[in-house]
């Protein structure tokens, strides 16, 4: 996912510096060329040798490197992304005000690449108005902030300010490396994931092979691109605590949860494998073998996607999935009309490495207006990127972004910034 991308990994002096080692390793695993830059403060927490061993080149610490003159311009100009993890209060302040007293801040000044900052500090510091203002100013300048999470802090305190989990930092870096920076900001994306389980008795259920990997990849991608995300899932796979996750088991529970959260959703992706039928009755006690094979009477569940399609608000983009084993294009296209969806993502789950349980998928994306795209076998995260790109494409092509666009433009004019000062993409 990061093949051919050059990433400068800045590490500053906070206890979370040890977690940057994991970020470094994950970025290298994804194919990136990682150049670590440590501040003097970082070196008090973590050894240079660790990064030397894991990264793609020697760790750099000084502006005055005899072997490589002007290292900050080489690093800054060559980078596809600069990520700072952890970013201390001082780094935020220096970057905001344009101070460039060491190699890392000078590199930040010498780059035009996207910048991802993952702040980490004690709750009291994080909540300081000065720091919050720095964060807001940097965010407004287009810097990607991976907000800290609640949890255990240095010294045993519990609170807000802990470095975001590695996955969230890596996700944001991948999205930035592919130019998807905040393009879903201000949007509510609702994703369903996993296979439903329909109980037969207290210990048995009717289910399917879906594991939720594709739905979770969609939620992570949407989150990394700045969306407010609701994930309704049957799967145990965890995502960031900053993502609203609703755990359900049955088709009925999923139906209820979708209705509770879909109200203001701009993009809905029904990636879950929802049962079409459930046992008409759930036995109160475990079915016993000596009673012989049970007769299963099934009844239909509600088709959630079709119901959403029938009552879709004008601004919403509705995306469904079609897991097929034959006639992929014909079946996916037929489901577009049947379900009232804008896009159907069809996959042939009988093909090798495709669909249920795999980390990879291969899909076709068909749209109500003739949209047709094929995405060959790729990591599920790359499929997620293409699905959300397609949903955004439908949104802009059909003018469904317009009400929000106008709202934002009105707000901008009221602030006196003038309507022409911000591009349409930034406003959204
Ligand atoms: N879906 C749903 N509610 C259901 C069943 C399915 O919302 N009760 C959604 C799935 O999340 C998926 C899409 O509908 O996005 C496709 O479901 P699928 O089972 O393939 O469609 P069916 O209409 O049941 O067609 P088939 O005859 O192929 O089973």
Residues 325-376: pLDDT tens digits?
999 999 999 999 999 999 999 999 888 888 888 999 999 999 988 889 999 9
Respond yes or no: is residue 331 known to be catalytic. Answer: no
Measure the CA–CA gap between 56 and 224, rounded to whole angstroms. 25
Closest residue CA from atom 6 of ligand 1:
274
The runs of H, that is alpha helices, within 80-193 are: 89-97, 103-109, 123-127, 129-140, 166-177
Q: Which of 322, 374, 371, 330 is nearest to 348 (CA)?
A: 322
Least confident of 19-23, 58-62, 423-427: 423-427
Burial zone of 90 (CB within 10 Å; 0-12 exposed, 13-18 middle, 19+ buried): middle
pLDDT for residue 417 is more than 70: no
The runs of H, that is alpha helices, within 237-321 are: 251-261, 304-310
Residue of 134, 140, 208, 347 marked catalytic = 208
pLDDT for residue 3 is more than 70: yes
Q: What is the pLDDT of residues 64-95, one digit of tens each?
A: 876 777 889 999 999 999 999 999 999 999 99
The runs of H, that is alpha helices, within 98-250 are: 103-109, 123-127, 129-140, 166-177, 213-224
In whole angstroms, what separates CA 170 from the centre of its chain?
10
* Ligand 1 geometric centre to CA of 263 (Å): 21
pLDDT for residue 275 is more than 80: yes
305 ligand 1 Cβ < 6 A = yes
Measure the CA–CA gap between 79 and 26, rounded to whole angstroms. 17
**Topology given in CATH for the domain delimited by 6-177:** Rossmann fold (3.40.50)
pLDDT for residue 163 is more than 50: yes
Domain boundaries along the sequence of the chain: 6-177, 188-279+296-397
* Ligand 1 geometric centre to CA of 13 (Å): 51
303 ligand 1 Cβ < 6 A = yes
Q: Which residues contact 411 (CB under 8 A, 6 or more apart)?
A: none
Do the domains at 6-177 and 188-279+296-397 have one common CATH topology? Answer: yes
Return the CATH number of 188-279+296-397, one of 3.40.50.10300, 3.40.640.10, 3.40.50.2300, 3.40.50.800.
3.40.50.10300
Q: Relative to the CA of 319, which ligand 1 atom is closest?
A: 15
84, 13 contact by CB (below 8 A): no
- DSSP string of 382-404, one letter each residue: HHHHHHHHHHHHHHHHTTTTHHH
pLDDT confidence band for 243 (50 / 70 / 90): confident
Q: How many CB atoms lie within 10 A of CB 397?
A: 12
pLDDT for residue 403 is more than 70: no
Measure the CA–CA gap between 27 and 6, rounded to whole angstroms. 10
196 ligand 1 Cβ < 6 A = no
Measured between alpha carbons, how far apart are the two ends of the chain, in Å? 26
Measure the CA–CA gap between 312 and 303, rounded to whole angstroms. 14
Can you give the pLDDT at residue 159? 80
In whole angstroms, what separates CA 84 from the centre of its chain?
19
In the chain, the percentage of residues whose pLDDT exceeds 70 is 94
Can you give the pLDDT at residue 419? 30
274 ligand 1 Cβ < 6 A = yes
Least confident of 74-83, 119-128, 152-161, 190-199: 152-161
pTM equals 0.89
pLDDT confidence band for 128 (50 / 70 / 90): very high
Closest residue CA from atom 23 of ligand 1:
335
Closest residue CA from atom 29 of ligand 1:
276
Pairing type for strands 244-247 and 267-270 reads: unpaired
What's the average model confidence in pLDDT over 168-175?
96
Most ligand 1 atoms within 8 A of CB, residue of 320, 337, 342, 349 to mutate: 320
pLDDT confidence band for 408 (50 / 70 / 90): low
250 ligand 1 Cβ < 6 A = no
pLDDT confidence band for 191 (50 / 70 / 90): very high
In whole angstroms, what separates CA 261 from the centre of its chain?
18
148, 91 contact by CB (below 8 A): no
332, 324 contact by CB (below 8 A): yes
pLDDT for residue 415 is more than 70: no
Q: Relative to the CA of 304, which ligand 1 atom is closest?
A: 7
Q: How many CB atoms lie within 10 A of CB 383?
A: 24
276 ligand 1 Cβ < 6 A = yes
């Amino acid at each position: 996912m990061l093949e051919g991308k050059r990433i400068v990994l800045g590490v500053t002096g906070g206890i979370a510096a040890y977690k940057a080692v994991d970020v470094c390793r994950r970025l290298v695993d994804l194919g990136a060329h990682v150049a670590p830059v440590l501040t003097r403060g970082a070196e008090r927490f973590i050894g240079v040798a660790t990064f030397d061993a894991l990264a793609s080149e020697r760790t750099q610490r000084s502006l005055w490197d005899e072997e490589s003159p002007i290292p900050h311009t080489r690093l800054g100009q060559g980078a596809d992304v600069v990520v700072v993890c952890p970013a201390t209060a001082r780094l935020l302040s220096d970057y905001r005000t344009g101070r460039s007293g060491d190699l890392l801040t000078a590199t930040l000044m010498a780059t035009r690449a996207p910048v991802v900052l993952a702040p980490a500090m004690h709750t009291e510091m994080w909540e300081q108005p000065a720091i919050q203002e720095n964060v807001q100013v940097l965010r407004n300048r287009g810097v990607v902030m991976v907000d800290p999470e609640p949890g255990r802090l240095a010294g045993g305190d519990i609170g807000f300010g802990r470095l975001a989990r590695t996955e969230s930092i890596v996700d944001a870096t991948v999205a930035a490396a592919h130019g998807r920076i905040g393009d879903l900001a201000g949007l509510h994306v609702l994703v369903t994931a996993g296979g439903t389980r329909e109980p037969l008795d207290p210990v048995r259920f009717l289910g399917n092979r879906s594991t939720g990997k594709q739905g979770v990849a969609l939620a992570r991608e949407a989150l990394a691109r700045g969306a407010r995300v609701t994930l309704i899932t049957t799967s145990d796979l965890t995502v960031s605590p900053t993502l609203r996750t609703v755990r359900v088991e049955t088709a009925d529970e999923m139906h209820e949860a979708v209705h509770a959260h879909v109200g203001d959703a701009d993009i809905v992706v029904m990636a879950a494998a929802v049962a079409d039928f459930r046992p008409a009755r759930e036995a109160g006690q475990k079915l016993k073998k000596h009673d012989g094979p049970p007769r299963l009477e099934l009844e239909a569940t509600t088709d959630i996607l079709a119901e959403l399609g029938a009552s879709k608000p004008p601004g919403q983009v509705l995306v469904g999935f079609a897991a097929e084993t034959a006639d992929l294009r014909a079946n996916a296209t037929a489901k577009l009309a049947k379900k009232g969806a804008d896009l159907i993502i069809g996959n042939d789950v009988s093909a090798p490495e495709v669909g249920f349980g795999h980390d990879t998928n291969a899909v076709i994306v068909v749209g109500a207006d003739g949209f047709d795209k094929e995405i060959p076998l790729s990591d599920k995260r790359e499929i997620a990127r293409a699905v959300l790109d397609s949903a955004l494409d439908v949104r802009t092509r059909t003018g469904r972004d317009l009400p929000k666009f106008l709202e934002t433009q009105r707000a901008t004019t009221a602030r006196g910034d003038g309507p022409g000062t911000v591009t349409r993409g930034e406003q959204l």
